[in-house]
Amino acid sequence: MEAAHAHAHDDHHHAPAGIGRYFTTTNHKDIGSMYMWFSLIMFFVGGFMALVIRAELFQPGIQIVNPDVFNQLTTIHALVMIFGAVMPAFVGYANWQIPLMVGASDMAFARMNNWSFWLMPPAAALLVGSFLVPGGAAGSGWTLYPPLSIQGGISVDMTILAVHIMGASSIMGSINIITTILNMRAPGMTLMRMPMFVWTWLITAYLLIAVMPVLAGAVTMLLTDRHFGTHFFNAAGGGDPTMFMHIFWFFGHPEVYIMILPAFGIISHIIPTFARKPLFGYASMVYATASIALLSFIVWGHHMFTVGMPAAGNLFFMYATMLIAVPTGVKVFNWIATLWKGSITFETPMLFAIGFVSLFTIGGFSGLVLAVTPVDITLHNTYYVVAHFHYVLFSGAIFSIMGGAYYWLPKWTGHMYDETLGKVHFWLTAISFNITFFPQHFLGLAGMPRRIPDYAPQFTEFNQISSIGAFLLGFSQLLFLYVVIKCIRGGVKAEAKAWEGAEGLEWTVPSPAPYHTFETPPAFH
């Protein structure tokens, strides 16, 4: 083993040149960067679909796409954003940051890491390419509810296959992350002294391992219903479509925490850095994260208050859901307490972090409103729900991803990004985000249903405001792309510790981080 290790070392002592290295690389930094770029590309692909949707909704009536294509766009927009943009971005962060933060030389299973990434592009090609097959892409909504997902054409099979592949990639990535965290920490770094981002990813990885196989089982049953004559969900043969909803949401609710827990981790690094104070209530943050993860397994029924569960079931899911507000509140108040009496500066990462805390809290609050069963029965499948989950996913997950990118870009590229452009990007994003999604609360309360390309004329004004905001929001993200490219190509040289208040092992290595770091475990105190 010693000899093999030394040999592997010779081959990769310096970063290999040429584009071909990316196909075979086992370096966590290369793989992390590939995940990030993949995520950014998918973000623009999914964003393009969102803009087509918003263009269609600019006026009542059917103008740009027919209702079939509209359904396909909402379906694939969601799948691309969830599985193609948000999740790979966080896995990219995990690859780049976890070895640097725990003082490991690489991920535990470097070759499997390469495989995890290279499963993603074929899956994305299946998803996006399904628009080109006869009948168009899957139009059942991202939840793939039967009977629509049983009746659809070959594109549904492509979507199911894509979900299988991405699930396999996630499980492999999670095994890698858990093993790296549990076995490869620097001496002296006990579990309760790990950086918060590492903690949130450890818990997220366990969630992924627990629920991705359940999703795989659910979509496999869809596939056998479609092609092999089984009747799991096919009512004609005694199956029950409602059962799919239960199995799907047993996966689906932990999935939404998979998309937000790593965000909590990133924010828990940015806020202490720019408040120049240690994170308030570290231990309570850890326990809050674990509580949210455990509770996420018993709240799936709140997605299905209208399917006719017994009142006792509805009440159980309502109370369990409301309980999640407690650990989430602990986290929000800890961030605010970290800011309290700090010497705060407002660089771009901090702006995104504060934007996250304010806007994610609005999304959490509308989630609490939707948790109330009788209210949800009215608001179910309206734009209120759309507004809610975009507040937690865009101003939650995506804000943290962008804030984290600005925060660690100096470490990744060795250059400081353009602070002015970064701030412009933040303000454009934050303002246009609210123009886009805040009016959707009102549309939902007034009764506008989601996933329908047409609407009653009294909804026109708010839809037009929302569409204008969406285009502003979409095109603002091109500025982000420009800032990132500009930062890679040059800029003010970043120091090893790029931010005055930054703490952690990743700031002890030079900027840009060398191709190989922590070949010998660092001292941690």
Partner 1 sequence: MNASLADRNALLARKLIIIACVMGCFGLALVPFYRQICEATGISQSRVVAQTASGSIDPTRDVTVEFVASNSNGLGWTFEALNPIVQVHPGVVTTVRYRVVNNTGRKVIAQAVPSYAPSLAAPYFKKLKCFCFDQQTFAPGEARDMQVVFVVEPDLPTDISRISLSYTFFDITAEAGGKG
> Catalytic residues, which ones?
77, 106, 142, 169-170, 253, 255, 257, 268, 302-303, 328, 331, 450
Binding mask 311-350 for partner 1 (x = CB under 8 A): x---------------------------------------
Residue 31: half-sphere exposure toward Cβ, Cα within 13 Å: 28
Q: Is the backbone peptide bond immediately before 512 cis, with ω within 30 degrees of 0?
A: yes
C-beta of 15 vs 182, nearer to partner 1: 182
Site string for partner 1, 97-116 (x = CB under 8 A): -----------xx-------
CB 149 within 8 A of CB 205: no
- Size, binding site for partner 1 by CB under 8 A: 42
Q: How far is CA 45 from CA 80, 365, 393, 435, in A?
A: 8, 30, 17, 21
**Cα–chain-centroid distance for residue 139?**
22
Residues 454 to 483: which contact partner 1 by CB under 8 A? none
The window from 17-25, 228-236, 336-344, 481-489 that contacts partner 1 (CB under 8 A) reads: 228-236
Closest CA to 117 of 169, 167, 174: 169
Interface residues for partner 1 in 299-318 (CB under 8 A)?
308, 310-311
Task: Please report where in the chains the tokens 């294509």 appear, as a residue.
Answer: 69
| Interface with partner 1, residue 229, by CB under 8 A | yes
The token duo for 6 is 């030394």
Cβ–Cβ < 8 Å for 428, 469: no
d(CA 525, CA 521) in angstroms, rounded, equals 13
* Residue from 126, 163, 247, 324 in contact with partner 1 (CB under 8 A): 247
- Token duo for residue 390: 């975009």
211 binds partner 1, rule: CB under 8 A: yes
Retrieve residue 193's tokens.
Answer: 């002294």
Nearer to partner 1, 190 or 520 (CB): 520
Binding mask 114-153 for partner 1 (x = CB under 8 A): ---------------------------------x---x--
Stretch that binds partner 1, among 91-99, 233-241, 406-414, 494-502 (CB under 8 A): 233-241
**Contact between 210 and partner 1 (CB under 8 A)?**
yes
Give the chain's largest Cα–Cα span. 73
Alpha-carbon gap, residue 348 to 424, rounded angstroms: 9
Task: State how far the Cα of 8 lies from the Cα of 14, in Å rounded to an integer.
Answer: 12
Q: Nearer Cβ to partner 1, position 19 or 236?
A: 236
Binding site for partner 1 (CB under 8 A): 1-2, 5, 108-109, 147, 151, 171, 174-175, 178-179, 182-184, 209-218, 221, 229, 232, 235-238, 240, 242-243, 246-247, 250-251, 308, 310-311
